[in-house]
A and B are shown apart, each in its own frame.
Chain A
């Protein structure tokens, strides 16, 4: 990606990252590393570390919750789960995304 394309992508991802996290958690609870690797693999975050401040804020906002589970021998692992408020938020986003996405698609088709 060129520098310009990278900048556009970064701005777009910033807005949707929170909902991608909710979407992933809606399918399955996940621990930090799992979530970070998944998002980075999909090119939704540039660096894995930036996920954690987002998760902390989402937890404070009541969109996600955590659950610790003992892992054989090692330190207890912290799983993130989606809350009812989180699901609601995700549904709202899905609606908005469909509407906005559709409009953006129409405009883009007109220009190309």
Chain B
């Protein structure tokens, strides 16, 4: 049963190149073909072998109907613009926060006034206050780089987007110890945009891609839970030293929800992508404004979920 479904899904994916009404007609006939063959007692793998590969069927369909290039192109164009646009917007927001709002320099000043009383003042300054406008503007360079592929002519797009993504990666790595790390979400979105642009105009995203996406989304959660459960069952664990990390009451449903989203993405539900993207965005914004310890980790995690969620929502073939 699964092989038949896999086969039909592969054909459906390949037939994205032809108009929907023709695609539906071919798929309907193939389903009937499988049903009749099964009724005639033919084994599924033999049926699939004599049907030929999904690519052969798709090639024949393109020959018969001509490629409905506009449809595929429009969806690839849209998905790419949304992802690349998100990379730009995020880079602007992060750049502004990093340069103008986030206290990058902290210190304390002790002053002793003339009457002998000493006062202790904690100071925090932003990048622009310490280094001036020009250095602060460097924080906006990633946004400019991410913007370039959106304005170059279409035929130069793949090359420009590749260079831009590589440059952004380099900046994030080189500047990783200062402000570079904050731009990792932009880097992820830029790569996702490039992959979506290239793949969506060819064979699209199959089950392997979806599983990789789902696992990547769930991995941080698993990595977080395994140490909690890994050693021994929780109730036998020695918590007397109080070193155990406690997950708050809200934490568990949250972690479980992300796991479920990962599974739903692997199955191919589009809405799971939107939910994960929204979750990632909320975390990102929260981390950017809170400026707490571990904010950078939360920004990375939020960026990862935003990227996977958005890319999945824009490319999933199931409508729900």
Where the two chains meet, the residues of A that have a C-beta atom closer than 8 Å to any C-beta of B are 31-34, 36, 40, 46-50, 52-57, 59-60, 71, 74-75, 77-78
Q: Does B61 contact A (CB under 8 A)?
A: yes
Q: Does B6 contact A (CB under 8 A)?
A: no
Residues of A close to B52: CB separation below 8 A: 46-50
Partner of B32, one of A33, A47, A57: A33
Q: List 10 A-B contacts (CB under 8 A).
A: A32-B29, A32-B33, A48-B50, A49-B11, A50-B60, A52-B57, A53-B63, A60-B22, A74-B39, A75-B31
| CB-CB nearest in chain B for A60 | B22
B36 near A77: Cβ-Cβ < 8 Å: yes
Residues of A close to B64: CB separation below 8 A: 53-54, 56-57
- The DSSP consensus for interface residues of chain B is helix
Partner of A50, one of B22, B39, B56: B56
Q: Mark B46-77, 1 if CB is under 8 A from A, else 0.
A: 00001111101100110111000000000000
Q: How far is the CB of B57 from chain A (nearest CB, A)?
A: 4
Q: Does B249 contact A (CB under 8 A)?
A: no
- The DSSP consensus for interface residues of chain A is helix
| CB-CB nearest in chain B for A36 | B33
Given contacts A56-B64, A60-B22, contact A75 B32 (CB under 8 A): yes
B25 near A59: Cβ-Cβ < 8 Å: yes
A49 near B35: Cβ-Cβ < 8 Å: no
B61 near A53: Cβ-Cβ < 8 Å: yes
Given contacts A56-B26, A60-B22, contact A50 B36 (CB under 8 A): no
Given contacts A32-B29, A48-B50, contact A54 B36 (CB under 8 A): no
Q: How far is the CA of A48 from the CA of B47 in the complex (A)?
A: 9
Q: How far is the CB of A92 from chain B (nearest CB, A)?
A: 20
Extra A-B contacts (16), CB below 8 Å, given A49-B54, A56-B65: A32-B32, A32-B33, A46-B56, A47-B52, A49-B52, A50-B52, A50-B57, A52-B57, A53-B18, A55-B25, A56-B26, A56-B29, A57-B22, A60-B22, A74-B35, A77-B36
User: Which of B11, B29, B40, B54 gathers the greatest number of chain A CB atoms within 10 Å?
Assistant: B29
Q: How far is the CA of A46 from the CA of B51 in the complex (A)?
A: 9
Q: How far is the CA of A47 from the CA of B30 in the complex (A)?
A: 13
Residues of A close to B54: CB separation below 8 A: 49
Partner of A53, one of B22, B37, B51: B22
User: Which of A34, A55, A56, A74 gathers the greatest number of chain B CB atoms within 10 Å?
Assistant: A56
Q: How far is the CA of A78 from the CA of B29 in the complex (A)?
A: 8
Residues of B close to A47: CB separation below 8 A: 50-53, 56-57
| CB-CB nearest in chain B for A33 | B36
B28 near A78: Cβ-Cβ < 8 Å: yes
User: Which of B18, B33, B39, B53 gathers the greatest number of chain A CB atoms within 10 Å?
Assistant: B33
The 10 closest A-B pairs by CB, nearest first: A47-B52, A53-B61, A49-B51, A56-B25, A33-B36, A50-B60, A57-B64, A49-B57, A52-B29, A49-B52
Partner of B22, one of A32, A56, A74: A56
Q: How far is the CA of A50 from the CA of B22 in the complex (A)?
A: 13
Residues of A close to B63: CB separation below 8 A: 53
| CB-CB nearest in chain A for B60 | A50
Q: How far is the CA of A49 from the CA of B33 in the complex (A)?
A: 9
A53 near B50: Cβ-Cβ < 8 Å: no
Q: How far is the CB of A40 from chain B (nearest CB, A)?
A: 7
| CB-CB nearest in chain B for A40 | B50
Q: How far is the CA of A55 from the CA of B32 in the complex (A)?
A: 13
Q: How far is the CB of A2 from chain B (nearest CB, A)?
A: 21
Q: How far is the CA of A78 from the CA of B25 in the complex (A)?
A: 11
Residues of B close to A34: CB separation below 8 A: 36
Q: How far is the CB of A87 from chain B (nearest CB, A)?
A: 21
Residues of A close to B32: CB separation below 8 A: 31-33, 75, 77-78
Residues of A close to B39: CB separation below 8 A: 71, 74
Q: How far is the CB of B283 from chain A (nearest CB, A)?
A: 46
